[in-house]
Amino acid sequence: MSEVRPVVRASDGHRLRVRRLGVDTQFEPVIFMHKECAVCRSEGFVAHNRLLLRAGERHVIATLYQVTNDLIAHDEAALSDSAWGRLELTDGDTIAISHPDPLASLSHIRSRIYGNGLSAEALLSVTADIVNGKYSDIHLSSFITACAARPLDHGEVLGLTKAMVDVGDRLSWNAEIVLDKHSVGGLPGNRTTPIIVPIIAALGLTMPKTSSRAITSPAGTADTMETMAPVDLAIPDIHRVVEREGGCIVWGGAIRLSPADDILIRIERALDLDSEGQMIASVLSKKIAAGSTHLILDMPVGPTAKVRSREAADALSAGLVTVAGAFGIKARVIAGDGTEPIGRGIGPALEANDVLAVLQRLPAAPRDLRNRAVALAGALIELGGLAEDGRGAAMAAQTLDDGRAWEKFQRICEAQGGMRTPPSSSHRQPLAAERTGRVDLMDNRKIAKLAKLAGAPEAKAAGIELHVRPGDIVSTGQPLCTVHAEARGELAYAMDYAAANPDIITVQER
């Protein structure tokens, strides 16, 4: 007969004194314990295990690395900056360490892989586990891939959207009409939001804009806006800005609006994957949580844009409008030309320069960016009931031309914490035309890739500055664009790519 020993519930956990190791691991919480320490030995922990760490009411799931020398003592644990911050510790505190609960929601992902659909309850349990940090990169990547490999059906998109809203915060406003705008993206430099919001707010309408950072593009609106003003505002600050100015342009991830989205974005970026159902849930969960009632969706269509054909645009538009309607949001899609980049700059600071030129009515301001912003602002004015259909664009242009939009933009930046000057790059190199001829094609995807290799969006000043447009006549050696970088290695990396891809900007001999 077997020996019986007293049993402790694993969930009770062991306690260890902690210190901050001084290691930045980004989003990933890491705990370092000595391989021979009593906790590792008695619990059977091995390196790369995921452990539940608790301190008071706070908890986090961390990856274990095991120390084999005297870097840390047997009776202590050391934490990465991310784990330390989330547990709000001070040196000498103790934490409880245990196995996390089994990840029950993984069975839903397996079920979907094997051909079944996901119920609203299943999607909520997956999304809650994601937001609670229970999913490793392996689990997150499998969820995203499983949802992309067999498209989410309408019910699943509704369920995912609702789940993403439910696990985060929601904003509400003292206004009957709360306007919002979203660009489906895929078009480098399409940075209209910082122009539209001040136009709308200057006209007395309410437009509390929460924007995202880049997913697979070289800059998101939040990345660009951040070079001109702080964007990581807390909810009370956002309310203060909007009450005072009627609008704001802030990062949606700094407040907990659809926080799962921000976790999934990192994985989608690593996979360069952005499927339709998840795109709809991602876009609309932010809008629903933001308390929007009326929404304009800007959808550039072109062979190298994110949406490549009229048919794809129609399908995606139908999905977005239907799902928005199910949540009480009146949405309208404005499909536009997506065959070439908008403006001159691609990358956070370079796009900010274009935005400022339009708002300041400089002679060199890119007309295509201004025109697109005016068209979208016009649609919002009509949706907001301030102008009849067909009359909104003229009202928007007037607001821009008489300086009210620029005045309002400065006031919004001040209210968000102070206006900034976008940074300049320290390393630049032009791409020169290899022959005399006519600029033919500009490959949006390759231009975006070049800007990312140069460091965008992490390096704010990095990106591409376009000097020509399709149709321009150029001569051999004339710069077609300039690559901007903040680090020599990144510039070199981008130039290597440019050398290997002569079709980024195609020049046809005449």
The correct pick among 36, 88, 121, 137 for binding its own copies (CB under 8 A) is 137
Return d(Cα 471, Cα 377) in angstroms, integer.
28
Strand order in the sheet with 330-337: 179-183, 294-301, 330-337
At 299, the amino acid letter reads M
E strand spans, 201-344: 207-211, 247-251, 294-301, 330-337
With binding defined as CB under 8 A, does residue 125 bind its own copies?
A: no
Mark residues 420-439: x for contact with its own copies by CB under 8 A, - for none.
-------xxxx---------
274 catalytic? Reply is yes
Beta bridge partners of 283: none
The correct pick among 54, 150, 404, 445 for binding its own copies (CB under 8 A) is 150
Using CB atoms within 10 Å of the CB of residue 414, give its burial: 0 to 12 exposed, 13 to 18 middle, 19+ buried: middle
Q: Based on CB atoms, which residue is closest to its own copies, 67 or 187?
A: 67
With binding defined as CB under 8 A, does residue 478 bind its own copies?
A: no
Interacting positions 242-261 with its own copies (CB under 8 A) = none
- In sequence order, which residues have a C-beta less than 8 Å from that of residue 181 and are 6 or more positions away? 192, 193, 196, 207, 209, 295, 296, 297, 298, 376, 380
The correct pick among 61, 83, 130, 140 for binding its own copies (CB under 8 A) is 140
With binding defined as CB under 8 A, does residue 144 bind its own copies?
A: yes
With binding defined as CB under 8 A, does residue 113 bind its own copies?
A: yes
The correct pick among 4, 172, 176, 471 for binding its own copies (CB under 8 A) is 4
Q: How far is the CB of 502 from its own copies (least distance, A)?
A: 17
Residue for token pair 């062991």: 14
- The answer to whether the CB of 143 falls within 8 A of the CB of 158 is no
CA distances from 314 to 106, 311, 335, 396 (A): 34, 5, 9, 27
Phi/psi at 231 (5° precision): -125, -10
Interacting positions 74-103 with its own copies (CB under 8 A) = 80-81, 98-99, 102
With binding defined as CB under 8 A, does residue 364 bind its own copies?
A: no
Q: Based on CB atoms, which residue is closest to its own copies, 458 or 503?
A: 458
Taking the CA atoms of 140, 145, 148 and 153 in sequence, report the sign of the dihedral they define. negative
Tokens of 44: 């059977």
Size of the site for its own copies (CB under 8 A): 90
Q: Based on CB atoms, which residue is closest to its own copies, 109 or 357?
A: 109
Eight-state DSSP code of residue 12 = G
The correct pick among 105, 127, 142, 193 for binding its own copies (CB under 8 A) is 142
Q: Which stretch binds its own copies (CB under 8 A): 159-167, 245-253, 397-405, 477-485?
A: 477-485
The correct pick among 41, 154, 435, 469 for binding its own copies (CB under 8 A) is 41
Q: How far is the CB of 283 from its own copies (least distance, A)?
A: 20
Interacting positions 257-286 with its own copies (CB under 8 A) = 267, 270-273, 275
Largest separation between any pair of C-alpha atoms in the chain:
93
Tokens of 100: 């996390």
With binding defined as CB under 8 A, does residue 141 bind its own copies?
A: yes
Q: How far is the CB of 1 from its own copies (least distance, A)?
A: 7
Return d(Cα 200, Cα 207) in angstroms, integer.
7
With binding defined as CB under 8 A, does residue 148 bind its own copies?
A: yes
With binding defined as CB under 8 A, does residue 110 bind its own copies?
A: yes
With binding defined as CB under 8 A, does residue 166 bind its own copies?
A: no
Q: Based on CB atoms, which residue is closest to its own copies, 97 or 331?
A: 97
Eight-state DSSP code of residue 396 = H
With binding defined as CB under 8 A, does residue 30 bind its own copies?
A: yes
Q: Which stretch binds its own copies (CB under 8 A): 67-75, 231-239, 242-250, 469-477?
A: 67-75
The correct pick among 17, 28, 154, 434 for binding its own copies (CB under 8 A) is 28
Choosing from 274, 298, 354, 443, the catalytic residue is: 274
Integer Rg of the chain from CA: 25
Q: How far is the CB of 47 from its own copies (least distance, A)?
A: 4
Q: Based on CB atoms, which residue is closest to its own copies, 38 or 318?
A: 38
Ordered DSSP codes for 245-263: HSEEEEETTTTTSSHHHHH
**C-alpha neighbours within 13 Å on the C-beta side of residue 84:** 20
Tokens of 285: 């969960």
End-to-end CA distance of the chain: 93
Q: Based on CB atoms, which residue is closest to its own copies, 72 or 249?
A: 72
Q: Based on CB atoms, which residue is closest to its own copies, 476 or 508?
A: 476
The correct pick among 77, 146, 199, 265 for binding its own copies (CB under 8 A) is 146
Interacting positions 481-500 with its own copies (CB under 8 A) = 482, 484-493, 495-497
With binding defined as CB under 8 A, does residue 441 bind its own copies?
A: no
Using CB atoms within 10 Å of the CB of residue 119, give its burial: 0 to 12 exposed, 13 to 18 middle, 19+ buried: middle
Interacting positions 293-352 with its own copies (CB under 8 A) = none
Return d(Cα 17, Cα 189) in angstroms, integer.
50
With binding defined as CB under 8 A, does residue 47 bind its own copies?
A: yes
Return d(Cα 356, Cα 345) in angstroms, integer.
12
Q: Based on CB atoms, which residue is closest to its own copies, 96 or 395?
A: 96
Q: Based on CB atoms, which residue is closest to its own copies, 98 or 217?
A: 98
Q: How far is the CB of 142 from its own copies (least distance, A)?
A: 4
Return d(Cα 75, Cα 25) in angstroms, integer.
23
What are the residue numbers of the active site?
A: 274
